[in-house]
């Protein structure tokens, strides 16, 4: 068996959580491979809404194993809050969720450092989620990190050494903070974490594959936020791309199967950084309000714009996407005209490859397509698609050269249309 990967092709929040939940019945195991509580993955079913941050989105389909892989950075306190809220709602995870011993811990001082680095960047700030993601990954790469497995031995010394380094940095930055209360709660939450199965997830996943079990890897963030290929430096600190699944779970490249690339029928971004098709006008506002485009973790308003096929083609290339999933089609229901960016004009020159630098000289080049002006939210079958919607899908498939297998027309699990049956 191989691992199928589902990942975002834009700047995050494409709807990964919803589709992982929809696809989970086909799989035995669902695993997160990177990121941490910067993610906010929303699922809706039976009139209820859940937002998952560190916990994989396969937990609601019953009987599935879920894994937090080594590539994830885990804040035990936020994890405890998330898991306890789920347990209170009847979803006890201690039997169905395992955590890699090699996953790195986000310490209270990482959160403080995240804030301090943002302040030090002034106008150039990234607009992080403030969850300590960057500093935790810095420590991982700098070989100063504290891992989940350290909870089982020598934790106190490792924690004290890391904390002392952070305190020295914060002192040098002259950054004032008080984490006494947070730290006490954080230390207390470590006991909760120990109730879970702490495992060598690379062995577990490879054993599952050998036993013929199917695994779905759930990406966080999106390709344009990838540390290497995203709009650097306005990115997150992990590899959000398909290759991140290999390093974040211990899966060999030849064991990757389908790569599901998920995108919105338009585009959004939260935080700072370039966004070529951003709409700072009424159209952008309409997309924002129709799509309820507010961050699920931070509540921040998401920037909105038309779909960007230059960036999407780049993301499809980097990830080797085999199947596409288009989300939030219903958000464009009211538009008479829909635009799609097919190239950029940079200093009067037409560019179709995603460029190294994006600055104010870049102008998107759009094609216009007729809108469907139909309420899509109650559509449940492809036969009911309006003609203009089919034309939009055909146009995208021709441009992107990958089939759009799933179309989403609303936030609920049921509002999902599978277009092609399995080969």
CA dihedral 294, 298, 303, 308 (to 10 degrees): -100
13 tagged catalytic = yes
DSSP 8-class letter at 41: E
41 tagged catalytic = yes
Query: Which of ligand IMO, ligand GDP, Mg ion, none binds 139 (CB below 5-8 Å, type-dependent)?
Result: none
**Among residues 4, 21, 41, 150, which one is catalytic?**
41
Query: Can residue 40 be called a binding residue for Mg ion (CB under 5 A)?
Result: yes
CB 4 within 8 A of CB 217: yes
Query: Can residue 13 be called a binding residue for Mg ion (CB under 5 A)?
Result: yes
DSSP string, 286-298: HHHHHTT-B-TTT
Of 40-48, 124-132, 198-206, 397-405, the segment contacting ligand GDP by CB under 6 A is 40-48
Query: Can residue 303 be called a binding residue for ligand GDP (CB under 6 A)?
Result: no
- What span, in angstroms and rounded, lies between the C-alpha atoms of 344 and 416? 32
Residue 125 or 165 having the CB closest to ligand IMO: 125
Query: Can residue 291 be called a binding residue for Mg ion (CB under 5 A)?
Result: no
Residue of the chain from 9, 10, 17, 335 that contacts ligand GDP (CB under 6 A): 17
Residue 129 or 189 having the CB closest to Mg ion: 129
Nearest to 311 by CA among 348, 359, 270, 263: 263
Residue of the chain from 221, 239, 277, 415 that contacts ligand IMO (CB under 6 A): 221
Query: Can residue 4 be called a binding residue for ligand GDP (CB under 6 A)?
Result: no
CB 307 within 8 A of CB 264: yes
- What span, in angstroms and rounded, lies between the C-alpha atoms of 211 and 44? 32
Residue 132 or 291 having the CB closest to ligand GDP: 291
Query: Which of Mg ion, ligand IMO, ligand GDP, none binds 126 (CB below 5-8 Å, type-dependent)?
Result: ligand IMO
**Among residues 4, 13, 21, 150, which one is catalytic?**
13
Alpha helices in 352-401 (DSSP H): 387-400
Phi, psi of 239 (to 5 degrees): -85, 105
Neighbouring residues of 282: CB distance < 8 A, sequence distance ≥ 6 = none
CB 101 within 8 A of CB 198: yes
Residues binding Mg ion (CB under 5 A): 13, 40, 296
Q: Which residues are catalytic?
A: 13, 41
Residues binding ligand IMO (CB under 6 A): 8, 11-13, 35, 38-41, 126-129, 131, 133-134, 220-222, 225, 236-237, 270-271
């Amino acid at each position: 068996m191989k691992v199928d990967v589902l990942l975002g092709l834009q700047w995050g929040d494409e709807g990964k959580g919803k589709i992982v939940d929809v696809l989970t019945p086909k799989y035995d195991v669902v695993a997160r491979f990177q990121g941490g509580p910067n993610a906010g993955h929303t699922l809706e079913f039976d009139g209820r809404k859940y937002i998952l941050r560190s916990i994989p989105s396969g937990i609601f389909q019953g009987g599935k194993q879920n894994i937090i892989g080594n590539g994830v950075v885990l804040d035990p306190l936020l994890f405890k809050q998330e898991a306890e809220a789920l347990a209170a709602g009847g979803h006890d995870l201690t039997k169905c969720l395992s955590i890699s011993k090699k996953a790195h811990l986000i310490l209270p001082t990482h959160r403080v450092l995240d804030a301090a680095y943002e302040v030090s960047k002034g106008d150039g700030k990234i607009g992080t989620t403030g969850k300590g993601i960057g500093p935790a990954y810095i420590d991982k790469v700098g070989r100063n990190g504290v891992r989940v497995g350290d909870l089982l031995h020598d934790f106190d010394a490792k924690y004290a050494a890391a904390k002392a380094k952070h305190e020295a940095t914060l002192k040098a930055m002259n950054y004032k903070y008080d984490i006494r209360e947070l730290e006490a709660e954080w230390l207390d939450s470590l006991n909760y974490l120990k109730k879970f199965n702490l495992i060598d997830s690379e062995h577990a996943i490879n054993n599952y594959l050998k036993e013929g079990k199917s695994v779905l890897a759930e990406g966080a963030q999106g390709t344009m936020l990838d540390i290497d290929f995203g709009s650097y430096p306005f990115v997150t600190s992990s590899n959000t791309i398909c290759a991140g699944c290999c390093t974040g779970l211990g899966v060999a490249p030849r064991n990757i199967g389908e790569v599901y690339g998920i995108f919105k029928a338009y585009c959004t971004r939260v935080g700072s950084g370039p966004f070529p098709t951003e709409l700072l006008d009424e159209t952008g506002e309409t997309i924002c309000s129709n799509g309820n485009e507010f961050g699920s973790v931070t509540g921040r308003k998401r920037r909105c714009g038309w779909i960007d096929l230059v960036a999407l083609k780049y993301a499809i290339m980097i990830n080797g996407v085999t199947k596409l999933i288009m989300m939030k089609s219903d958000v464009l229901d009211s538009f008479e005209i829909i635009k799609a960016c097919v190239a950029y004009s940079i200093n009067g020159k037409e560019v179709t490859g995603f460029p190294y630098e994006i600055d104010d000289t870049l102008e998107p080049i759009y094609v216009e397509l007729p809108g469907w002006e139909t309420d899509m939210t109650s559509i449940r079958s492809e036969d009911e698609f309006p003609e203009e919607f089919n034309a939009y899908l055909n146009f995208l498939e021709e441009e992107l050269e990958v089939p759009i297998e799933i179309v989403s027309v609303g936030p609920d699990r049921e509002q999902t249309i599978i277009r092609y049956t399995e080969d």
